[in-house]
Amino acid sequence: MVDAALMDALRAGADGSVDTDVGPRPSDLTVSLGRTRDLPAAAAVLIGPYAMALATVVATDETATPDGDLKVRYVFEPTAPGAPDQFVTLLISVDAAHPEVPSLTTAVPAANWHEREMQDLFGIVSVGHPDPRPLVVHDGWPKGAFPLRKAFDGSQRVPVEPADEFPHLVAEGEGVFEIPVGPIHAGIIEPGHFRFTSVGETVLNLDARLFYTHRGLEKRMEGLSPLDAFYVAERICGVCSVAHGLGYCEALEQIADVDAPPRARLIRSIALELERLYNHVGDVGNVCAGASFHYGTAAGMRLKERLQQMNERLAGNRFLRGLVVPGGVRLDLTDDLLGLLAVTLQDTLAGLDSLMARIEANPSVVDRLDDTGILQHQAALDLAVAGVAARASGVDRDARRDHPHGAFAGPEPLDLRVATASEGDAMARVTVRALEARESIRLVGELVRRLEPGPLQVALIEPLPSGRIGISAIESARGEAVHWLRIDAAGRVERYHLRSPSYHNWPAVVLAAETAIVPDFPLVNKSFELCYSCTDR
Amino acid sequence: MLRILVNAIRTGVVTTRYPVEPSVPPDRFRGAPVLRPGSALPPPTVCPTGALSERLDADRRYVALDLARCIFCGRCAEDPWVDAVAMGRDFELATRCRNDLRIEVLADDPTDRAAGPAPDRDAEAARSLSEIHRVLGRSLHLRHLDAGSCNACDWELAALLNPVYDIRRLGIDFVASPRHADGVIVTGPVTRNLETAVHRTFEAIPEPRVVIAVGACAASGGIVGEGYASAGGVDRVLPVDVYIPGCPPRPEAIIFGILVAVGRLSARRLGSEG
């Protein structure tokens, strides 16, 4: 439905044409701006009076099509709790010979990394960006090579050219130290480089450099059959396997115009909650490691291990891979397995309650977590932070409710109790995480009660309709992930883009770390618990 | 504090006895696919990672499976190939030779059940680890190196330190500095952005040193393959001593692979010098 007042507001600030269309989904709106310079004014209308947030930015290379341009889609979503499930896309065309667009970053801070990524992978320059350093491609990347342009052959390795040292953003002054950390860290964790500048223990500035695990997966998926590409989507991230697999499937099913059967949707949602649960339980334990509370670490690891062993019995894989497939689910939940599920979740609940009681009763842990790594409410909104991190800073957003998916999109909506806190510190994130784990256990019980016998899959008939866009938002353990997919005329993947929750949350970790001391960084980092691999792709 | 002690005692011992006692994976577990010789085996296009290949020899079709590439998705064992391929439950798949992970069988001829020719042993990869065994004894300290993994293999390595697997009971540990390590255990296909760090970490480890590639990406490039951002496997960059297939390999499969690296298992896939 086209909102007339919104259209008037968008037209009021525009020099060029403003055309609207319904889509990608029937509830969504796509606004084509005739002139790229109208973009900031249009974004200001959505962010300001309409209280929307940037959901994702998707660039595409359409130079081979009749209109022959690069396109950029800035996708926004409402932020008010209870707002309708809608995406509003601002679509601009960019001349491939002069690929310049106005930067939104100073007005829409969440656009920061999106614009830098677009510059690296498409050569589209966001003019006026305050920090246009390379993001995705690292030192020695050849000038003028843009991997996501269609003319770029992604199957060949690209040699590293001699390069100057990367210009880290650092504070300067008397008594200021630089502390370089990573990309290889002391523990078994993913790679990233953190450049602290500090005076004594106080962090003055933190510059995080990521994308070490950039594998070129979006390029890898282009040209694959949509069913083959699913296996890549499911493997973008280990601990988000269900969420990203499901997000890809829902986008694909939208394009194919099919719905997974009711039983499959329930099983998908059960899998999504089980993924959240093993992550959240393990993450509560891992925070204890940052506070040197080893009993808590061991207890968390033990509870997580039990859940992953159950995953292996349910799905044949400890990360629940191979359960969700395009069109539905591959495996059923038998009565035996439902019995196992009930017992395991009951024990997990008892174990989690006991672990939280031990944490809350331990002043040395509570003291480390309280007031540590504060993320302000406004910063969480500005950066479009997702998931536990947003909710612990008072942002009441959850894609299960705001963009219903899986069983949440069924005819009888599930009652979801969204846990929030206002403090925005590490303790708030741990508390919210524990509340969500308990809510997941309750939801699985409810989902299991709703299971009725029925088919597990519908067929997707190939070739799928070309040119159609699928968009989905899934609440993963880390927060909302937005998937964008389009199929080409040959029925192959033309473009797939994932905006993971960690992608929006990493800049928030940096802000929160700057309120802490250097030794508390592991604690701050673990309280956010983000993935590198689904950020870097 | 007292509550913690009471809780700990009440929990009891949760540690597995593996490898002294075998680990039996659950019914649905997808281990190494078993190709039935002579059956109507699937075409290579079925596999999303290119782990299946075929060749014609004197009008006979041979189908080969590369376990290093396999992501154990089970697609080749689905309808209509359920009679030709079964997802086995074998997970102890680690080998020292990349070629030992290649299994070839004759297709489409039920009268001839002979397996294909034995794989060529890769002489370089099969080099004796006796020097390493002499120096390191039976203990091994490893530096983990994430070379662009999806984090599933990383989390399984981290699980080896949990109370259930407690890999330290076997004299194996993960250390923070490569200078304290006897080798590296690598996950991920080696991304372009990490290649320098991979080289530097390896160079910082005193010789002799072992390199263990964990999971499909590290062993072969897996789902990522070779491309502008990926080398397509650890052995493109470092000399790999042991390959551990899986996507990800379950923790026991990684323990098995590490024990292969220290030469503490005379497993069937070890080859003559093991």
Express each pLDDT in A465-481 by its tens digit.
888 999 999 999 999 99
**Residue in A closest to B196 by C-alpha:** A160
**Ramachandran angles phi, psi of B50, nearest 5°:** 75, 25
Model pLDDT, residue A390: 96
Q: What angle do CA B169, B174, B177 make, to 5 degrees?
A: 145
Model pLDDT, residue A463: 80
HEC sequence for B201-229:
HHHCCCCCCEEEEEHHHHHHCCCCCCECC
pLDDT digits (tens, 9 = 90+) for A266-297: 999 999 999 999 999 999 999 999 888 999 99
Q: Do A188 and B188 touch (CB under 8 A)?
A: no
Joined together, the tokens standing for residue A152 give: 């770029």
B48 within domain boundaries: no
At which residue do the structure tokens 């504070």 appear?
A171
Peptide bond between residue B189 and the one before it cis (omega within 30 degrees of 0): no
> Which residues in chain B are closer than 8 Å to A295, comparing Cβ atoms?
4, 7-8
Q: Do B3 and A358 touch (CB under 8 A)?
A: yes
pLDDT digits (tens, 9 = 90+) for A78-102: 998 888 999 999 999 999 999 999 9
**Residue in B closest to A153 by C-alpha:** B228
Using DSSP, state whether B234 is helix, strand or coil. helix
Instruction: Spell A111-123 as b/e; 16+ CB within 10 A means b.
Output: bbbbbbbbbbbbb
Q: What is the mean pLDDT of residues B75-98?
A: 91
Given a contact cutoff of 8 angstroms between Cβ atoms, the answer to whether A308 and A320 are in contact is: no
ipTM of the complex: 0.93
Q: What is the mean pLDDT of residues A379-388?
A: 95
At which residue do the structure tokens 């993450």 appear?
A283
Instruction: Spell A508-529 as b/e; 16+ CB within 10 A means b.
Output: bbbbbbbbbebebbbbbbbbbb
Model pLDDT, residue B137: 63
Q: Which residues contact A534 (CB under 8 A, 6 or more apart)?
A: A236, A237, A240, A244, A478, A481, A498, A500, A502, A503
Residue B213 CA to residue B242 CA, distance in Å, equals 6
pLDDT-based confidence at B113, cuts 50/70/90? low
Given a contact cutoff of 8 angstroms between Cβ atoms, the answer to whether A514 and A206 are in contact is: yes
B113 within domain boundaries: no
B230: nearest CB among A211, A215, A235: A215
Q: Do B7 and A147 touch (CB under 8 A)?
A: no
B256 within domain boundaries: yes
pLDDT digits (tens, 9 = 90+) for A154-184: 998 888 888 888 888 888 888 898 999 889 8
Residue A495 has pLDDT above 90, yes or no: yes
B162: nearest CB among A190, A217, A302: A302
Name the minimum distance, in Å, from the CA of A391 to any CA of chain B: 25
**Residue in B closest to A321 by C-alpha:** B73
Answer whether B18 touches A (CB < 8 Å).
no
Q: Which residues contact A179 (CB under 8 A, 6 or more apart)?
A: A195, A196, A197, A198, A518
Q: Choose between A49 and A500: higher pLDDT.
A: A500
CATH architecture of the domain A226-501 equals: Orthogonal Bundle (1.10)
Residue B274 has pLDDT above 60, yes or no: no
pLDDT-based confidence at B265, cuts 50/70/90? low
Residue A355 CA to residue A34 CA, distance in Å, equals 57
Model pLDDT, residue A116: 96
Please tell me what DSSP assigns to residue A141. Answer: P
A322: nearest CB among B14, B30, B193: B30
pLDDT-based confidence at B132, cuts 50/70/90? low
**Ramachandran angles phi, psi of A478, nearest 5°:** -90, -10
Model pLDDT, residue B268: 38
Given a contact cutoff of 8 angstroms between Cβ atoms, the answer to whether A389 and A528 are in contact is: yes
Name the minimum distance, in Å, from the CA of A303 to any CA of chain B: 10
pLDDT-based confidence at A515, cuts 50/70/90? confident
Going by DSSP bridges, is the β-strand pair B242-244/B210-214 parallel, antiparallel, or unpaired?
parallel
Lowest mean pLDDT among A98-112, A135-149, B94-108: B94-108
Q: H or E segment at B151?
A: none
Name the minimum distance, in Å, from the CA of A271 to any CA of chain B: 16
For chain A, give the mean pLDDT.
Answer: 93
Sign of the torsion angle spanned by Cα atoms A165, A171, A173, A175: negative
| pTM as predicted | 0.93
Answer whether B194 touches A (CB < 8 Å).
yes
Q: H or E segment at B117?
A: none
**Ramachandran angles phi, psi of B91, nearest 5°:** -120, -10
**Helices assigned H by DSSP within A326-412:** 335-360, 363-369, 377-382, 387-391, 399-402
Q: Do A213 and B188 touch (CB under 8 A)?
A: yes
* The A69-78 sheet, strands edge to edge: A18-22, A29-33, A88-94, A69-78, A52-62
At which residue do the structure tokens 């100073």 appear?
A106
B255 within domain boundaries: yes
Q: Do B159 and A533 touch (CB under 8 A)?
A: no
Task: Give the other-Cβ count within 10 Å of A423's Cβ.
Answer: 17
Task: Give the other-Cβ count within 10 Å of A129's Cβ.
Answer: 19
> Which residues in chain B are closer than 8 Å to A326, comparing Cβ atoms?
none
Task: Give the other-Cβ count within 10 Å of B135's Cβ.
Answer: 12
Joined together, the tokens standing for residue A379 give: 């910063």
Residue A260 has pLDDT above 50, yes or no: yes
Lowest mean pLDDT among A90-94, A201-205, A387-391, A420-424: A201-205
- Tally of domains within chain B: 1
> Which residues in chain A are closer than 8 Å to B11, comparing Cβ atoms?
302
Q: Do A308 and B176 touch (CB under 8 A)?
A: no
Domain ranges in chain A?
4-127, 226-501
Task: Give the other-Cβ count within 10 Å of B102's Cβ.
Answer: 20
Residue A53 CA to residue A43 CA, distance in Å, equals 9
> Which residue range is the domain that position B221 belongs to?
130-261
Q: Do A154 and B8 touch (CB under 8 A)?
A: no
Answer whether B96 touches A (CB < 8 Å).
no
Q: Do A301 and B11 touch (CB under 8 A)?
A: no
Sign of the torsion angle spanned by Cα atoms A8, A12, A18, A23: negative
Residue B205 CA to residue B198 CA, distance in Å, equals 11
Residue A134 CA to residue A143 CA, distance in Å, equals 11
Model pLDDT, residue B267: 41
pLDDT digits (tens, 9 = 90+) for B137-162: 667 899 999 999 999 999 999 999 99
Model pLDDT, residue B112: 60
- Nearest one of A202, A211, A147, A158 to A179, comparing CA atoms: A202
In chain B, where do the E strands start and end?
Answer: 33-35, 52-57, 60-66, 85-87, 102-106, 140-146, 172-174, 183-187, 210-214, 242-244
Is the domain covering A4-127 a CATH 3.30.460.80 domain? yes
Task: Give the other-Cβ count within 10 Å of B19's Cβ.
Answer: 16
Q: Do B174 and A330 touch (CB under 8 A)?
A: no
**Residue in B closest to A156 by C-alpha:** B227
Residue A342 has pLDDT above 80, yes or no: yes
CATH assignment at residue B149 = 3.40.50.12280
Long-range contact set of residues A156-162: C-beta below 8 Å, sequence gap at least 24: A156/B226, A156/B227, A156/B228, A157/B192, A157/B226, A157/B227, A157/B228, A157/B230, A157/B231, A157/B232, A158/B192, A158/B228, A158/B229, A160/B192, A160/B195, A160/B196
Residue B116 has pLDDT above 60, yes or no: no
For chain B, give the mean pLDDT.
Answer: 85
pLDDT-based confidence at B123, cuts 50/70/90? very low
Residue B7 has pLDDT above 70, yes or no: yes
Q: H or E segment at A2?
A: none
pLDDT-based confidence at B218, cuts 50/70/90? very high
Longest C-alpha distance within chain B, in Å?
75
pLDDT digits (tens, 9 = 90+) for B18-70: 888 889 999 999 999 999 888 889 999 999 999 999 998 888 888 999 999 99
A239: nearest CB among B7, B151, B195: B151
Residue A420 has pLDDT above 50, yes or no: yes
Q: Is residue A410 exposed (0-12), middle (13-18) or buried (19+ Cβ within 10 Å)?
A: middle
Note which residues in 121-160 of chain B have CB less than 8 A from chain A: 144-146, 148-159
Model pLDDT, residue B13: 85
Model pLDDT, residue B158: 95
Model pLDDT, residue A54: 96
- Nearest one of B127, B144, B137, B128 to B205, comparing CA atoms: B144
Q: How far is CA A338 from the centre of its chain?
A: 30
Using DSSP, state whether A32 is helix, strand or coil. strand
Name the minimum distance, in Å, from the CA of A239 to any CA of chain B: 6
Joined together, the tokens standing for residue B64 give: 């080969």
Q: Which of B46, B73, B151 to mutate to test the interface with A (most CBs of A within 10 A)?
A: B151
Task: Give the other-Cβ count within 10 Å of A402's Cβ.
Answer: 24
